[in-house]
Amino acid sequence: MIKKFISKKKISSIIKELGKKISEEYKNKNESEIIILSILKGSFIFVADLVREIQVPCKIDFLISSSYSGKTSTGKVKLEKEFKLDLKNKHILILEDIIDTGLSLNFIIAELKKKKPKSIQICTLLLKKNKHKFKYPIDFVGFEIEDEFVIGYGLDYNEEYRNLDYIGILK
């Protein structure tokens, strides 16, 4: 059973806000270019919507990581693709669908740091509060949520439900 949780309208208004904040942040830094790294698969819809609200020059690349089986993190994170763009001395903005334990991002950031970027900032649409073991500051958060398993708007349960235009709780 799916319980409606965050509507299409609420998602789109938070994305406009995030886009404004991110644009301001990088305009103030007076930087010419940022590299947006989208963590697939879950962030694909979020990224497509958010980048159209970002008003500073950017390049976009994708990473594929996986650690989940069903509703639980296996704790073992796999990166399934090498970075195509040169990240040295670049400002990186990571776009993630959801941070739960934070283990995936801890792993991804450790890998990214080896490429010597100038800065790494993080934007996540959803953050599960209380539970995360994430080691870094999270710069932009859409919604803080309780410890529930959510689906839709890119997020899946065993690859299903990504196509929902709202976020639901799977009961």
Q: Are 164 and 158 in contact (CB under 8 A)?
A: no
As given in the structure block, the two tokens for residue 99 are: 């941070």
From the list Mg ion, ligand IMP, none, partner contacted by residue 155 (C-beta under 5 to 8 A by kind): ligand IMP
Residues 31 and 25: their CA atoms lie apart, in Å, by 10
Site size toward Mg ion, by CB under 5 A: 3
Using the contact rule CB under 6 A, the part of the chain among 15-23, 48-56, 81-89, 147-155 near ligand IMP is 147-155
Q: Which stretch in 12-20, 34-42, 80-88, 124-132 sits in contact with Mg ion by CB under 5 A?
A: 34-42
49 or 97, CB closer to Mg ion? 97
Rounded least distance, CB 141 to ligand IMP, Å: 13
By beta-carbon proximity to ligand IMP, the closer residue of 87 and 98 is 98
The CA–CA distances, whole Å, from 77 to 35, 37, 162 equal 22, 17, 21
DSSP 134: -
Which one, 86 or 110, has the nearer CB to ligand IMP? 110
Strand pairing report for 150-151 and 167-170: antiparallel
Q: Find the residue with minimal CB distance to Mg ion.
A: 42
Across-strand partners of 16?
none
Would you tell me how many other CB atoms lie within 10 Å of the CB of residue 158? 10
Q: Which stretch binds Mg ion (CB under 5 A): 32-40, 46-54, 82-90, 107-115?
A: 32-40
Among 6, 11, 22, 42, the residue binding Mg ion under the rule CB under 5 A is 42
CA 165 – CA 152 distance, rounded (Å)? 7
Chain residues binding Mg ion by CB under 5 A are: 39, 42, 97
